[in-house]
Structure 1
Amino acid sequence: MINSIAIVGCGWFGLPLAKTLLANGMTVNGSKRSAEQAETLKQQGIKGFVLDLDNPQACDNPQTLDGLKTDAIVINIPPGLRRGEGLYLERLNLLKALISDHHYQKIVFISTTGVYPATGEVMREDDAFGHSPQAAILCQAEAVFAELPNCVIVRFAGLVGPKRHPGRFLAGKTGLSGAELSVNMTHLDDCIGSVSAILAHPKPPSNAYSVCAPQHPSKQTFYQAAASQLGLTLPTFLAPSSDEHDKVVDGSRITRDLDFHYKHPDPLLMLGACE
């Protein structure tokens, strides 16, 4: 039975996940990159500890190692591929070395649906591959932990929610492509709910799950509605082109395997829960 959880990366997703697990009676350890940030977690009932994966010498200390020794661990390290692709894999391999001597009842690694190509087909969990340089890095990242016992890969689609209103993403932009392409979105509530369901399940049948709202409005419809809701200038799109390939991510496996239900199945309606 899982009673304690370490969350590596207590940011936009990790912190509300920590608060939810804490409210459900779990002991939660949460990592931050500085002592000051870790202290803010302690003030919220989370056992904050310092983990700076860009500073390997500072990671090998009793406080950090104790913070990682829990029944389960959720690894939520943003790829930041635009800032340095190699550093992401270096950070993950260092973390793997730090936890390699500890047995976890469950390891949850947060990934992204960026591992799926746009081919015009519906994308499911087995369709991931390194179809671009960035996707290759993402697949390598998953592989770092996939070989460990009890690991489940969770691939989030586009993230929206509090402080991430999609109306600001494209507002006022012109000449955008992909007007009729489908959007693949996930609300923060469903990120938290899906990971909570995985942690609660004794043994999930699959080692990978996509988390994506089941409805897929067009890019033009979605982003214009999002900008309109905030009273911002609507983005404008070019006419659809024949060389544009759609991508629809199927996030239904987790609903079948774990009896998980999306709280926000329609991206247009989830806009109301993004303020």
Structure 2
Amino acid sequence: MMAFTNLTNRKISVLGGGWLGYPLAQELKAFGADVNIATRSKQRLDTYNQLTGFLVDIENLTDDVNAFLNSDVLVVNITNKNIAAFKALIDKIEDSPIKQVIFISSTSVYPDNNSVISESDGLELIEHPLYQIESLFKQSDAFVTTIIRFSGLIGYERHPGRFFRNGKVIKNAQAKVNLIHRDDCLPIICQVINDDIWSEDFNVCSDTHPNKKEFYTYAAQSLGVTPAACEPTDVVAFKVIDNNKIKHRLNYRFIYPDVMAIDFSQDLC
């Protein structure tokens, strides 16, 4: 496990306490950070042990958000794409002690243009709601924001061998996959905070890009189930996410660089 010594006593708030946010908060806590975590679910809130939990819904902000935002760093990790709600949240952040923000986004902001895409290419889809929300955070003068764009998330409860069940077929089966394991997501977020890497955009994706048929057949076989059928098509639309910036800027070595070498039969995913 990497040692993040600059996280000790940092006050960090994590908005979104599910599949990614909860283990992230636990990781930050393990490195000595003072962690707030927020969720919309009262049931989920009751499961947060040794963390300071809050109920926060950005579409219905209450005074609880002010206490939640009493931190130095905010990690925003929610699936909501309500732009008006994010504007209201940003107003609250600007009135808080928060000075650094990580916004967890997605490489879905890029088009399927059958090419390799890096952060410097300027190919983001301006109509994509995630890109518009990214821009709102970056436009604020009250804090600095680093955007982390994750590719398809796999690991633990998100076992790719289960993605195509109940007769679902694989569409665009010859398209390249862009995937990232949660065990790589967590240390990357921690390192950005630890090293104070702000006002950056990062694509986060494993090194390898097999096609959908190859990868999902491999993942299904790891479960001992019949691989999904592929929808026949002569049209292939894809993108390949370039991860060189995150590797060079953070000097990061992926735990799972090759998605075809992950042992999905183990209780990892």
Under a length normalisation based on structure 1, what TM-score does the superposition of the two structures give? 0.86
Aligned counterpart for 1:229 among listed residues 206, 222, 226: 222
Aligned to 2:148: 154
1:113-172 per-residue CA deviation (whole Å, 9 max, x = no partner) reads 0011111110111334227x5xx2111111121123321000000000110001111246
Q: SS where residue 47 of structure 2 aligns? A: helix
* Aligned-residue offset at 1:245: 2.6
Q: Which moved more, 1:101-110 or 1:183-192?
A: 101-110
Pairwise mapping of residues 52-201 of structure 1 onto structure 2 (< 5 A)? 52-56=57-61, 59=62, 61=63, 63-79=64-80, 88-126=82-120, 127-130=122-125, 136-148=128-140, 149-171=143-165, 173=167, 176-201=170-195
The offset of 1:260, in angstroms, is 1.6
Task: Give the letter for the 2:14 counterpart.
Answer: I
Alignment of 1:247 onto 2:248 = no
Residue 120 of structure 1 aligns with an amino acid whose one-letter code is N
Distance 1:225 1:208 in 2: 32
Contact kept in structure 2, 1:108 and 1:154, CA below 8 Å: yes
> How far off is 1:252 after superposition?
1.7
Q: Which residue of the partner structure matches residue 218 of structure 1?
A: 211
Structure 2 counterpart of 1:145, which letter? Answer: F
Find the counterpart in structure 1 of residue 19 from structure 2.
12
CA distance in 1, matches of 2:160, 2:123: 25
Cα contact 1:4–1:27 (8 A) shared by 2: yes
Show the counterpart of 1:82.
Answer: none
**Residues 167/37 of structure 1: CA separation in 2 closer, same or farther (3 Å cut):** closer
Alpha carbons 1:122, 1:247 under 8 Å: kept: yes
- State the partner residue of 1:25: 32
Instruction: Measure how far apart 1:226 and its partner are.
Output: 0.8
Determine the structure 2 residue equivalent to 1:48: 53
Q: Following the alignment from structure 1 to structure 2, what is the Cα–Cα distance between the partners of residues 114 and 251?
A: 15
Identity of aligned residues (%): 31
Asked whether the equivalents of residues 218 and 260 of structure 2 are also in contact (C-alpha less than 8 Å), the reply is yes
Opposite residue 259 of structure 1, the aligned amino acid is N
2:261 partner letter: L
Give yes or no for contact 1:117–1:128 (8 Å, CA) kept in 2. Answer: yes
**Which deviates the most, 176-185 or 8-17?**
176-185
Deviation at 1:176, TM superposition (A): 3.4
Change (3 A) 1:90 1:178: same
CA RMSD of superposed structures (Å): 2.1
- On the 8 A contact 1:171/1:233 being kept in 2, the answer is no
Structure 2 CA distance for partners of 1:46 and 1:128, relative to 1, 3 Å = farther
Aligned length: 257
Shift of 1:210: 0.6
Matched position secondary structure for 1:54? coil
Q: Deviations over 1:228-271 (max 9, x none)?
A: 11122211224551x32321001121110111221111112235
What amino acid is the match of 2:54? F
After superposition, the C-alpha distances for 1:212-232 in whole angstroms (9 at most, x for unaligned) are 001111110000111111122
1:15-44 CA distance string (max 9 Å, x none): 000000100111100002255543432xx1
Aligned to 2:3: none
Q: Runs of 5+ in structure 2 lacking a partner? A: 1-5
Letter in 1 for 2:242: D
Mark the CA change 1:187 to 1:45 in structure 2 (over 3 Å): closer, same or farther.
Answer: same
CA contact (8 A) 2:69 2:97 kept: no
